């Protein structure tokens, strides 16, 4: 076997095994290992007792997490081995002091959410055979606890770049910002913070807005951000300088997205700007890799959702009347990108 084939073969085998690491991490989050450790050091036996697990099995889990440098461990003078959160681990895996005192870069909620969608991914073969989602129910509409978990998960991912994005994208002279399906409000919060003259309206489903309200209040933004219960597939309010759609189009089919762009056009003032943030595909529909993999997530969980290419999005925007449609390279994490367009003045 030549070196190139050997390397490729190893990469493919490693990809197949990658769920070992993922599941170890997700179960550790589910057992609340990182919050239980917090600032302290604990032995495997102590953590096993706190989580009602077997001591030897807990030691195996903790060592696997040390192996991928998510936890640290040291030998105490007593001879016991103690495990601890690394400084970076504390920033992202320890929630904070409770309530809404969540550390800004916390990722435990999105990791925990993967424990939920893991069940769906285990049915991928079935979904592929049927070409349909594994269940008919909308994950955020049914159970308030699921809505809360989902919106907290979305907040974790949004907080990875909401602040830097708001500083990166100038909204010169804009006074009104419509955040369509705004979720936790992370982007509205940061666009308002970066633009003192801006007020935002978050349009979302009523149950989601109950969670949104808590985030908006905890960030001290309730005077700048209003919450509008509604359904973006029915109607949108009018009179906005900027419309922002983050991770919305991937849940909808092409027909719905074209109709949505037409509604967005009407909701904007002349000269207004729309920003569509998503996992946008290159024309090959395979890259960036996360965008093509995410399409499978949409197959599992939605009737018509998918990820789309820039030209598909551009087509909807043009048909709706938008001009100056662009897809600039921005320094955003996890293959996220943004399409910009303007309504003529």
Ligand X SMILES: C[S@@+](CC[C@H](N)C(=O)[O-])C[C@H]1O[C@@H](n2cnc3c(N)ncnc32)[C@H](O)[C@@H]1O
Which residues of the chain form contacts with ligand X (CB under 6 A)?
140, 154, 158, 181-183, 186, 203-205, 208, 231-233, 246-248
In the complex, what is the shortest distance from the CB of residue 164 to ligand X, in angstroms, rounded to a whole number? Answer: 15
In the complex, what is the shortest distance from the CB of residue 231 to ligand X, in angstroms, rounded to a whole number? Answer: 4
Q: Which is nearer to ligand X, 42 or 209 (CB)?
A: 209
Asked if 196 and 221 touch (Cβ cutoff 8 Å), the reply is: no
Q: Which is nearer to ligand X, 205 or 258 (CB)?
A: 205
In the complex, what is the shortest distance from the CB of residue 246 to ligand X, in angstroms, rounded to a whole number? Answer: 3
Asked if 236 and 267 touch (Cβ cutoff 8 Å), the reply is: yes
In the complex, what is the shortest distance from the CB of residue 289 to ligand X, in angstroms, rounded to a whole number? Answer: 20
What tokens does 255 get?
């027909």
Residue labelled with tokens 């036996």: 45
Asked if 320 and 258 touch (Cβ cutoff 8 Å), the reply is: yes
Alpha helices in 229-301 (DSSP H): 254-267, 289-301
Q: Which is nearer to ligand X, 8 or 290 (CB)?
A: 290
Q: Which is nearer to ligand X, 26 or 202 (CB)?
A: 202
Q: Which is nearer to ligand X, 46 or 204 (CB)?
A: 204
Tell me whether residue 100 is exposed, middle or buried, using C-beta atoms within 10 angstroms of its C-beta: 0 to 12, 13 to 18, 19 or more: exposed
Cα(129)–Cα(125) distance, rounded to whole angstroms? 6
Alpha helices in 31-107 (DSSP H): 33-37, 44-51, 55-67, 87-93
In the complex, what is the shortest distance from the CB of residue 214 to ligand X, in angstroms, rounded to a whole number? Answer: 14
Q: Which is nearer to ligand X, 120 or 181 (CB)?
A: 181
The residue among 337, 293, 343, 344 whose CA lies nearest residue 169 is 337
Asked if 277 and 270 touch (Cβ cutoff 8 Å), the reply is: no
In the complex, what is the shortest distance from the CB of residue 247 to ligand X, in angstroms, rounded to a whole number? Answer: 4
């Amino acid at each position: 076997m030549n070196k190139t084939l050997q390397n490729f073969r190893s990469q493919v085998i490693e990809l197949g095994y990658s769920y070992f690491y993922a599941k170890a991490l997700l179960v550790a989050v589910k057992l609340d290992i990182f919050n239980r450790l917090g600032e302290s050091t604990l032995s495997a036996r102590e953590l096993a007792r706190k989580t009602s697990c077997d001591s030897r099995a807990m030691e195996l889990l903790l060592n696997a997490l040390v192996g991928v440098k998510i936890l640290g461990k040291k030998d105490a003078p007593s001879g016991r081995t103690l495990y601890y959160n690394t400084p970076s681990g504390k920033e992202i895996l320890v929630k904070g002091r409770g309530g809404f005192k969540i550390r800004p870069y916390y990722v435990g909620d999105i990791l925990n959410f993967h424990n939920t969608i893991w069940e769906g991914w285990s049915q991928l073969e079935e979904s592929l055979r049927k070409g349909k989602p594994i269940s008919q129910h909308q994950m955020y509409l049914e159970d308030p606890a699921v809505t809360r978990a989902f919106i907290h998960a979305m907040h974790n991912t949004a907080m990875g770049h909401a602040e830097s994005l708001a500083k990166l994208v100038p909204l010169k002279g804009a006074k009104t910002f419509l955040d369509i399906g705004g979720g936790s409000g992370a982007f509205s919060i940061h666009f308002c913070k970066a633009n003192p003259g801006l007020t935002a309206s978050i349009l979302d489903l009523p149950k989601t807005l109950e969670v949104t309200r808590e985030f908006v209040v905890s960030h001290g933004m309730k005077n700048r951000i209003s919450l509008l219960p509604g359904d973006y597939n029915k109607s949108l309010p009018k009179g906005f300088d900027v419309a922002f759609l983050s991770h919305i189009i991937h849940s909808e089919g092409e027909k719905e997205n074209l109709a949505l762009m037409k509604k967005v056009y009407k909701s904007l003032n002349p000269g207004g700007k729309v920003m569509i943030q998503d996992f946008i595909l290159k024309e090959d529909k395979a890259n960036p890799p996360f965008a093509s993999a995410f399409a499978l997530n949409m197959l599992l969980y939605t009737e018509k959702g998918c990820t789309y290419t820039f030209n598909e999005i551009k087509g909807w925007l043009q048909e709706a009347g938008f001009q100056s449609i662009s897809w600039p390279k921005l320094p955003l994490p996890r293959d996220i990108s943004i399409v910009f367009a303007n309504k003529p003045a």
